[in-house]
Structure 1
Amino acid sequence: MADETVGVVGAGIVGLATAREIALSRPGTVVVVLDKEQEVAAHQSGHNSGVVHAGIYYPPGSLKADLCVRGVALLREYCQERRLPYREIGKLVVAVRADELDRMEHLYTRARGNHVPDLRRVGREEIRELEPHAGGLAALHSPRTAITDYPAIARELAKDIEASGGRVRLGFPVTSVRARASGVEVGSGARRLRVDRLVLCAGLQSDAVARLAGDGREPRIVPFRGEYMLLKPDRAHLVNGLVYPVPDPRYPFLGVHFTPRVNGTVEVGPNAVLALAREGYRRTRISPRDLLGLAGYPGTWRMAARHWRTGVKEYRGSLSAAAFMKDAAHYVPGVGVHDVVRGGAGVRAQALDRDGTLVDDFRIHRHGRITAVRNAPSPAATASLAIARHIAAAVYEGS
């Protein structure tokens, strides 16, 4: 007989890692992962860039920074043990304008505070040695930044769960969550499942599922679609590693960059445009329900008032490949619209507070037997194994 049954809603990489961590750290506990899709990693975990971030961007002492740095080591070890792709191809964070140099220096100080390994400043000549086709005045070089295959990792985590005696139940859309004296009852239509504890890792649906469980209405999820171009195969040689811009600290998005993938392709992007559906991977996908939810939330309008100029610029790049590639050409001069084809897209679950603030760190709410992960932004995939330990500790805090 199991000591306890723990349910986890969401078969993305954070939900699967959390279920695995609970199974490993609490012998005798049976974990059950529930997801509405027919495969694991169907949304954010299966549509991200595949980058293993080294911890350059995050404020020292923040949960993001701590979990990212710890998560990299755990993920590298896991990939090595399971013979999953993990390639340290390095990253250049490139300043292309003089007014970006101070921001780059601040980023360097921040990254040093996070103990990013082997990070160093490089000048124009060394940029060319590392990336012969790149432009820029100066850059930060992070040689340990890596790429991997997150859907493959998610599938391996699911195998671990089942090997521990747990289950991954796909095709189980959660429609009700009710706390009972003896545990938590999770419903999917007419189906019912009783668990002793429940963890919500629902990504794009995290606020909706949390409300089913009686959690507060905020933060709300705003979906941002990130669209990619792909370098044509005969142009993929133009970059050796990751080439990124110096980020604007006012926004949680990193801007258009060049990302080699483990399959040999090179992505250019993403942009960040407001999606018209939570799972709006195509521009033509519109959900009236999701739109009404966005329109009825005061935070949406306050965010729009602050960032409308950036929004217009991002939509221009979405509609025009030439405009999209104009930004990319700052970092790899000479690359233009004729060197790329349209690639895929992902949708980011961006949490938003009522005052219009884009939530930038992890948020986890716990009430009784239910623990809700309300925001797990990038670098959630990188940090997934460390996040799992953090969530598992929160689930049992005070028990």
Structure 2
Amino acid sequence: MTKYVVIGAGILGLATADAIGASDPSAEIVVLEKEDRVAPHQTGRNSGVIHSGIYYVPGSKKALMSKAGAESMRRFAKDNGIAMQETGKLIVATNESQLPAMRKLLARGQENGIPVRELSAAEALEFEPHVRAVGAIRVETTAIVDFVGVCQRLAEQIAERGGEVRFSSPVTGMHHQGEQTIVQTPTGPIIADVVVSCAGLYADRVAAQDAGKALDYKVVPFRGEYFELTREREHLVNGLIYPVPNPELPFLGVHLTRMARGGVHAGPNAVLALAREGYDWKTIRPADLLDSLRFPGFWKMAKDNLGVGVMEVRRSLSHKRFAASLAELVPEVTEDDIVPSPAGVRAQLLTRDGKIFDDFLIERSGRNVHVLNAPSPAATAALEIGRHIAQQATASA
């Protein structure tokens, strides 16, 4: 019997543990989560969107897994009674200068095999009567889902197969004993044949513990702040309204998203978090902040994106500016129409030369497997990524 320890009860950790159990019924599986519930961080604090795959470079892991992931995630939600709506999405050009980038994105979607089509301004208004658009892309395969509900069901399936999800169980250290790994926790050590780390904001630190040395990558946390439309103004948005993204950045820009369990999310922006779990400006952990500031790649990235960074900080500090960004998409939105909503923190992997690592990065270390970078659409593609990781993990057992 092979013993697997999966670190992290976000959607990737749970999907991986579930996939291992499905492929190896005799496996002993323990999922370790430092918090007291599933999906406490990135998974439970995002927009809840099942992405179609339109944005991603053809042939990349993101492109390949997102399309298949959107299908499997919608199917999983339907089969398990999890809140999900197939809303479709508009990506809107709000002025003529954005049309070339919009059409380039349209071509990318077509190359990725996504059912997309270009709309005129009048056609866009048929889907979203309050939107400002000189042109738009309609993406029919985008949906919204309750990702926390997905995680809860995955945890149930793991338990039904005899696995265990242990909460309030942080990993405090690791060392090797022959081919096995000793995982330290506050309640004692666990001897694992294979460790799979889906540690999100701490992915680089866990991998460095396993390797016994520093990595050439660093997770730098970026906070994404959200608002919600007041109930009286929710009628301004029927589904999902996104801007044409800046191709130089991995962030999609502030957008408006109707949520699977009600309400309309507005955001997120992207500002440096002052702690790995820095969900507001008041949360500062000097060790985390110094970890980012001492990494040479951070300063190179900051220099290359100084203008954008300043704009994001100004928007973070001003509700009026945040509302104005939303009004570029829906002109009727004002500062009085938005109320704060819980923020999220994105674990963004940087290289030493300042490059933002945009694709999924999953690496082996002996028998162990580490998910070092899993940005959006990782939640969308979680079931596919989980199966991919499970194949690597079981092959090394």
Distance 1:262 1:36 in 2: 27
Residue equivalent to 2:364: 366
Could you state the TM-score of these two structures normalised by the residue count of structure 1? 0.97
- The structural deviation recorded for 1:249 is 0.8
Deviates more, 1:377-386 or 1:30-39: 30-39
CA distance in 1 between partners of 2:396 and 2:142 (Å): 37
Aligned residue runs from structure 1 range 328-347, under 5 A: 328-347=326-345
Distance 1:23 1:204 in 2: 25
Q: For 2:375 and 2:262, how far apart are their aligned partners in 1?
A: 26
| Matched residue, 1:139 | 136
2:300 counterpart letter in structure 1: R
Confirm whether residue 318 of structure 1 aligns to residue 287 of structure 2: no
Aligned to 1:155: 152
Q: Could you list the per-position Cα deviations for residues 315-370 of structure 1 after superposition, in whole angstroms to 9, with x for gaps in the alignment?
A: 11111011111111111012110111122210000111111111000111102111
Structure 1: 4+ residue segments shifted above 6 A: none
Select which of 2, 5, 11 maps to 2:3: 5
Partner of 1:260: 258
Structure 1 residues 360-395: Cα deviation after superposition (integer angstroms, max 9, x where no partner) = 001111021111110011000000000011111222
RMSD: 1.1
Distance 2:183 2:42 in 1: 23
Q: CA deviation at 1:190?
A: 6.0
Deviation at residue 112 of structure 1 after TM alignment = 0.9
CA distance, structure 2, for counterparts of residue 283 and residue 112 of structure 1: 41
Match of 2:93 in 1: 95
User: Is the 2:83–2:261 Cα contact (8 Å) retained in structure 1?
Assistant: no
Q: Aligned-pair distance for 1:397? A: 4.1
- 1:235 — aligned with what? 233
| Structure 2 stretches lacking a partner, 5+ long | none
Q: Displacement of 1:51 after TM fit?
A: 0.4
Shift of residue 60, structure 1, vs aligned partner: 1.0
User: Structure 1 residue aligned with 2:77, among 69, 76, 79?
Assistant: 79
After superposition, where does 1:1-399 map in structure 2 within 5 Å? 3-117=1-115, 119-189=116-186, 191-214=188-211, 216-397=214-395
Aligned residues: 396
In 1, Cα distance between the equivalents of 2:177 and 2:390? 21
**What is the Cα deviation at residue 293 of structure 1?**
0.5
Structure 2 length as normaliser, TM-score? 0.98
What are the superposed Cα offsets for residues 138-172 of structure 1, whole Å, 9 maximum, x if unpaired? 00001221000001111110011011000001111
Letter of the 2:177 counterpart: R
How far residue 398 of structure 1 moved from its aligned partner, in angstroms, is: 6.3
Greater CA deviation, 175-184 or 306-315? 175-184
1:231–1:339 CA contact under 8 A, matched in 2: yes
What is the alpha-carbon distance in structure 1 between the residues aligned to residue 162 and residue 112 of structure 2? Answer: 37
CA contact (8 A) 2:14 2:31 kept: yes
Query: Quick one: percent identity of the two aligned structures?
Result: 46
Counterpart amino acid of residue 377 in structure 2: P
Q: Could you list the runs of 5+ residues in structure 1 that have no partner in the other structure?
A: none
Structure 1 CA distance for aligned equivalents of residues 279 and 216 of structure 2 = 24
Amino acid at match of 2:121: R
Q: What secondary structure is seen at the aligned counterpart in 1 of 2:181?
A: strand
CA distance in 1: counterparts of 2:52 and 2:181, whole angstroms: 38
What per-residue deviation string (whole Å, max 9, x for no partner) do you get for residues 82-116 of structure 1? 01111011100001122211111111111111111
Contact persistence 1:207–1:218 (CA under 8 A): no
Please state whether the residue corresponding to 2:385 is helix, strand or coil.
helix
Q: Note if contact 1:175-1:212 (Cα within 8 Å) is conserved in structure 2.
A: no
